[in-house]
Each structure stands twice: as structure tokens, then as C-alpha cells.
């Protein structure tokens, strides 16, 4: 090295060069082939097929959310058509044409920003250049980004060229708002809609980039970045860039949460769990914690809506995790949380959360708005399923007293971070903090613990049981039925035994007895009993319940001994069909009543309907 340049100057020049040559991740990892574009296979496959068949349209519109690959796809398509080895669906990325397009210096590929070149004069200039043949490549390609920003006059100026462009000219448009493009333009374009990238795919993509960058980033941090990006690859890479530059060593979940200013997922799950349990103190506490952490309540509110929407979907379509855009490890926790409540209750919560959006958003004190909203949500009555009600009724009749309700312990995914510490006054909140309901029984003696307060909520708002699932946990203690001494001789006829058993059960378990009333004894030989039930599917499922079977067997044991095999055959359907038929008839009556001709007759003749008879169709009629 020459004189006059000392080591530190050299060092700083090298550093400056390093900074100058630093490429942001979004540019460094911009896809260069169709295969690199994630989550848009429906578009890339179509384009590749079009190239292979030489059927690429001369005007193509890429529509979709920001950062999903619209301009990227336009560039790859330009390369594919202008590649020296092309047209090919796998551009070489090494020839002069490909590298020029990558660097943005291609002589025949024009990238135009629609937002800043939106006037009619600019489009007229463009129209002039279109006439000339390409200089170096087979095609002259115009990529217009944010094309919806063009003025109406500009669009009109473009119309003619777009309809019949010279043979070597192609237009690729990209837009986030296709609805703002005039229909006359849309109808001249082949349209491809790009999808938002789901969190799991995006997280996997980011993970690969971190590996390529040789950076250690916790999966939870990646997940947070992917979630925050809202389905945009570019946004996710910008956030990741920011995160990697801000943290020199390994990046943890806390780093990401702090930098992105987002809430821990656990806080959302905790708040939802508290709401499901009906735990007002814990809910208010979660808000206090958010306030202390300086979190944005509007974001919290939006996250909460998303969470309850996910719960509702998990409840209504448990086999469709693809409908819930959350990482896989949260699915199980969502399922379990959803199992603890009823679908209608979840729907009501989502409704109210959405209805109150503007209040939270525009309130001068979002904290108080959020608190009152929570208290309102707590007022929503929990719908209990019929089977849950009957089970509780049975328990009461059997003298078990109120159900030994454990508060619904809401399931949570495995979080890396420790749960936030609760302030002392809430950690062991005594049940008195909620005014006791007049009908409530005295609460059992409390032992202070970290567990949420059992309070009197079980009586006031019974632990909700899911109407759509049979996962209600039943107490495992055996039935409290003392075997009555058999008052019949050993060789009594089966019917007599069965009647005695029914009689005995009817005193202690009226609901079960009602079910048994629909049963006919088909067979009783040795210790094998076969019953046939004529009722709804509900009756069948109820009598097939383990606990009910145990009750019946226990009542039978003194007469026929153990072990007993009890089989119940459903003759279901009759009841269901009857109900269905009744509904059909009701509907027909209503239709007849509201029929225009009938209505007209009523009006003009001044009559009234006395009776509507539904005629049964004859055998050969349909």
C-alpha cells in the first residue's frame, strides 16, 4: 500500500465498502427463478406452461397484497422471455440479458413506477417508444408497478396500445388494488391473483434465510416476525433484517418481541383463558400488565378478535387447521381452549369484540375502553349443552351436590418465556372479589394458591360444556348407587328383573330412567343383556355413555351377577324422521300461507285462513 494511508484509514475504508455493498435481505434473497417464489405455485405453474406452449399473453396483470411477489414474477417472466437461451421457463440468470434484468439495466425491459409516472403525457411518451423494435432482446417489455395509480386519461391513452401492441411488445402490470383499474384495461389483461403467504410457510422461508446468513434465531422469534409481516414476504425480510442488525448474537423471542413492540402470544392466550373462565380479576390484571408494558390496546384488541375467530373456527371445523393461520404448535392449544366453551358463546364474543372496535380504536383512554369491553364480554351468558345440563341434574339428584367444578384450566402451547408474574393482590385473589350470586352456595374453604380463584363461578356460570363434542370430563368415582337387595327370586323372568331395575333407577336417576323408558329388552341370557332403543341419536349416545352403562350394570348385578355385557342397539331415526317431517309440513304450511295467490285472495275477498292441510303425495308422484 502507498504511503500516507495508515491502518485505521484502510480499516475504515474497508468498513465503508462493506456498508456500501450491503444488500438488504429483501433484495439479496429476491427470487430469480419461478421455483424460488414461495406460495404462488398456482401462478408460476400457469406461466411456465404458457411459456412452454408459446402462449404468453401480451398484457398480464399481477394482483395481490404487498410483498407477495408481483414485480418479482414480472421480472422473472421478462427474463424467461428474453433469456439468450429462451424463451424458457428456467431462465439461466447468467447471460447478459438475465443479469441486466436482475440489475435493472436491461435495454429492453422498462420498469415504470405507476405512482410517479401517472400522467397522460408520460403514457403518450411511452406509446411513442413502443413503436420501435427492441435493441438487443427478442421482446420489449414494460413492467408498470402500482398501475392503479395511473390517471383515467393515462389509462385511456394506453388502451389502444394495449389492445393491439406491436408483436414484440409485452406489458406486465402489478397492483395491490385491482378494483381501481378501469374495466376496459382489466378486460385486455390476463390476470393472476397472488396469495398472502401463510405464517408457517413464511416462517420456514425465514428459517432458511437465517441458516444461509449463518445466524442463530429462535423459532419463536421467527414466528413473531412472520406473524407481524401479515403475509408479506418483503415485510418479513425487512423485519428480519432489522432484527438481525439490532441483535449481534443469537436472537431470542424476547429480542423480537421487544424490537417489534408486539405482544407475547401468551398474553393473548392468557386473556382468552381468563375470559373463558369468567375470571374478572385476572382479565383486569392482564390489561394492567399490558398498560405497564406500554402495549397498544388497539393491536391487543385486533389480536383478541383474531384469537376468538380462530377458536370459533377450531370449534366449528376441528378437522380444518388450514383455515387457521397460526403456527402448528398453537393448533392443539386452540382446539383445547375451544373445547371448553360452546360455539354460540364464541360467536357472541367475536360479535361483541368486532362491534366495539371503533370504541377501542377511537377512545381517548383505550385502556378503560378495553376494561369495560371485557366486563361486557363477561356478561355474555354461557350456553350450556343439553347433555351437560342433564349430567349436572343427575349429579344433583344423586346427592352429589354441586359438581366438583374445577375451573376450566385453559390449555396453552408450550411457551419458551416464563409466564408473567402476577401482582400479589391477584395471585391468590379471594372469591369475595366478585360479589357472590344470591343463589350461590357457600364456597368451599380456600387454600391460597397460584391457581385461579375457583370463586362461585361454577354455580353462577357452570363450566361450559361443548355442545358439539363429547369430551366433557366425567368424574371417575363409581356410581353412588347402593345395590338394592333383590326382591325377586333368582329364577324370575327377565322382564320382571328388567322392570325392577328400571324402577330402582328411576328413583335415583330420572333422566336416565326417561331414556330407559324408550328401551325394549331384547335379550337377557346369562349375563348378557341386549336393549333396543327407539329415540333420537341423542338418546342412544346418552345410554352408551360409560357412566350410564355403569349405573345400569350396577343395578343389574344383584339379580344376575357379574360381569355383565350390555349391548344397546339403536333403532334411531324414527324420531328424527318424524321431526324432520313435521318441519317439512310446517314449511309447506308457511309457504302456502304466504303464497301471492292466497294473499291476493285474502285481500280481495276479505277472508282469513282457518286451516291448512298438507296433502300426502300419492305413491307414483314425486
Footprint of Zn ion (CB under 5 A):
83, 91-92, 95, 98
CB of 88 to Zn ion, least distance (A): 8
CB of 50 to Zn ion, least distance (A): 18
Nearer to Zn ion by C-beta: 87 or 165? 87
Query: Rounded CA gap, 309 and 299, in Å?
Result: 15
Query: Rounded CA gap, 61 and 535, in Å?
Result: 59
Nearer to Zn ion by C-beta: 95 or 218? 95
Picking from 196, 255, 248, the residue whose alpha carbon sits closest to that of residue 220 is 255
Phi-psi region of 477 (alpha: psi -120 to 50; beta: other; left: phi over 0): beta
Query: Rounded CA gap, 221 and 208, in Å?
Result: 14
CB of 72 to Zn ion, least distance (A): 16
Query: In terms of DSSP bridges, do strands 140-145 and 169-175 run parallel, antiparallel, or are they unpaired?
Result: parallel
Nearer to Zn ion by C-beta: 95 or 481? 95
Nearer to Zn ion by C-beta: 37 or 181? 37
Residues 499, 502, 503: CA angle, nearest 5 degrees: 85
Q: Which helix H or strand E contains 529, and what residues bound it?
A: strand 528-533
CB of 83 to Zn ion, least distance (A): 3
CB of 106 to Zn ion, least distance (A): 11
- Would the CA dihedral through 159, 162, 163, 164 be positive or negative? positive
CB of 167 to Zn ion, least distance (A): 22
Quick check: 127 and 155 in contact, CB under 8 A?
no
Nearer to Zn ion by C-beta: 43 or 78? 78
- Distances from the Cα of 404 to the Cα of 382, 477, 536, angstroms: 19, 12, 30
Quick check: 301 and 360 in contact, CB under 8 A?
yes
Nearer to Zn ion by C-beta: 84 or 254? 84
CB of 246 to Zn ion, least distance (A): 38
Quick check: 120 and 152 in contact, CB under 8 A?
no
CB of 139 to Zn ion, least distance (A): 13
Nearer to Zn ion by C-beta: 51 or 377? 51
* 3-state SS class at 503: helix
Nearer to Zn ion by C-beta: 92 or 443? 92
Ordered strands of the 140-145 beta sheet: 109-113, 140-145, 169-175, 59-63, 190-193
Amino acid at each position: 500500500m502507498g504511503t500516507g494511508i495508515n491502518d485505521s484509514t484502510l480499516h475504515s475504508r474497508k468498513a465503508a465498502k462493506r456498508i456500501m455493498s450491503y444488500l438488504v435481505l429483501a433484495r439479496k434473497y429476491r427470487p430469480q427463478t419461478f421455483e424460488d417464489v414461495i406460495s404462488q405455485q398456482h401462478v408460476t405453474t400457469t406461466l411456465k406452461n404458457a411459456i412452454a406452449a408459446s402462449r404468453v399473453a401480451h398484457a398480464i396483470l399481477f394482483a395481490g397484497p404487498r410483498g407477495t411477489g408481483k414485480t418479482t414474477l414480472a421480472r422473472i417472466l421478462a427474463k424467461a422471455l428474453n433469456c439468450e437461451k429462451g424463451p424458457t421457463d428456467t431462465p439461466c440468470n447468467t447471460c447478459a440479458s438475465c443479469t441486466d434484468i436482475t440489475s435493472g439495466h436491461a435495454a429492453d425491459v422498462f420498469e415504470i413506477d405507476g405512482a410517479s409516472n401517472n400522467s397522460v403525457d408520460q403514457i403518450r411518451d411511452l406509446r411513442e417508444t413502443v413503436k420501435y423494435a427492441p435493441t438487443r432482446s427478442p421482446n420489449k417489455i414494460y413492467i408498470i408497478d402500482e398501475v392503479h395509480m395511473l390517471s383515467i386519461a393515462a389509462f385511456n391513452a394506453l388502451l389502444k396500445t394495449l389492445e393491439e401492441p406491436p408483436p414484440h411488445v409485452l406489458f406486465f402490470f402489478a397492483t395491490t388494488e385491482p378494483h381501481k383499474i378501469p374495466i376496459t384495461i382489466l378486460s385486455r389483461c390476463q390476470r393472476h391473483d397472488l396469495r398472502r403467504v401463510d405464517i408457517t410457510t413464511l416462517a420456514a422461508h425465514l428459517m432458511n434465510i437465517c441458516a444461509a446468513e449463518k445466524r442463530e434465531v429462535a423459532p419463536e422469534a421467527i414466528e413473531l416476525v412472520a406473524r407481524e409481516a401479515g403475509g408479506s414476504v418483503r415485510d418479513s425480510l425487512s423485519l428480519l433484517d432489522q432484527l438481525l442488525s439490532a441483535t449481534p448474537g443469537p436472537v431470542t423471542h424476547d429480542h423480537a418481541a421487544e424490537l417489534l413492540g408486539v405482544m407475547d402470544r401468551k398474553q393473548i392466550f392468557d386473556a382468552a383463558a381468563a375470559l373463558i373462565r369468567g375470571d374478572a380479576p385476572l382479565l383486569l390484571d392482564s390489561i394492567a400488565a399490558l398498560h405497564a408494558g406500554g402495549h397498544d390496546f388497539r393491536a391487543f384488541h385486533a389480536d383478541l378478535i383474531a384469537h376468538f375467530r380462530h377458536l370459533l373456527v377450531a370449534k366449528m371445523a376441528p378437522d380444518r387447521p388450514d383455515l387457521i393461520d397460526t403456527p402448528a404448535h398453537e393448533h392443539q392449544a386452540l382446539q383445547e381452549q375451544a373445547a371448553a366453551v360452546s360455539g354460540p358463546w364464541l360467536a357472541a364474543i367475536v360479535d361483541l369484540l368486532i362491534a366495539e372496535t371503533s370504541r377501542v380504536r377511537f377512545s381517548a383512554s383505550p385502556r378503560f375502553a378495553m376494561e369495560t369491553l371485557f366486563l361486557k364480554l363477561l356478561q355474555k351468558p354461557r350456553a350450556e349443552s343439553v347433555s351437560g345440563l342433564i349430567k349436572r341434574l343427575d349429579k344433583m339428584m344423586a346427592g352429589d351436590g354441586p359438581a366438583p367444578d374445577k375451573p376450566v384450566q385453559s390449555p396453552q402451547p408450550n411457551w419458551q418465556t416464563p409466564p408473567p408474574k402476577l401482582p400479589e393482590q391477584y395471585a391468590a385473589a379471594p372469591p369475595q372479589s366478585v360479589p357472590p350470586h344470591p343463589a350461590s352456595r357457600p364456597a368451599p374453604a380456600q387454600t391460597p394458591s397460584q391457581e385461579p380463584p375457583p370463586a362461585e363461578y361454577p354455580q353462577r356460570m357452570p363450566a361450559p360444556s361443548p355442545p358439539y363434542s363429547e369430551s366433557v370430563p366425567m368424574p371417575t368415582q363409581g356410581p353412588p348407587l347402593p345395590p338394592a337387595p333383590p326382591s325377586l327370586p333368582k329364577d324370575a323372568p327377565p322382564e320382571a328383573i328388567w322392570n325392577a331395575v328400571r324402577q330402582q333407577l328411576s328413583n335415583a336417576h330420572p333422566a336416565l330412567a326417561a331414556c330407559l323408558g324408550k328401551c325394549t329388552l331384547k335379550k337377557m341370557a346369562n349375563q348378557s343383556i341386549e336393549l333396543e332403543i327407539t329415540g333420537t341419536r341423542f338418546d342412544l349416545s346418552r345410554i352408551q355413555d360409560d357412566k350410564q352403562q355403569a349405573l345400569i350394570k350396577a343395578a343389574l348385578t344383584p339379580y344376575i351377577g357379574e360381569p355383565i355385557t350390555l349391548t344397546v342397539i339403536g333403532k334411531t331415526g324414527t324420531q328424527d324422521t318424524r321431526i324432520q317431517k313435521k318441519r317439512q309440513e310446517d314449511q309447506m304450511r308457511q309457504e302456502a300461507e304466504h303464497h301471492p295467490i292466497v294473499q291476493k285472495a285474502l285481500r280481495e275477498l276479505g277472508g282469513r285462513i282457518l286451516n291448512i292441510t298438507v296433502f300426502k303425495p300419492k305413491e307414483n308422484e314425486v
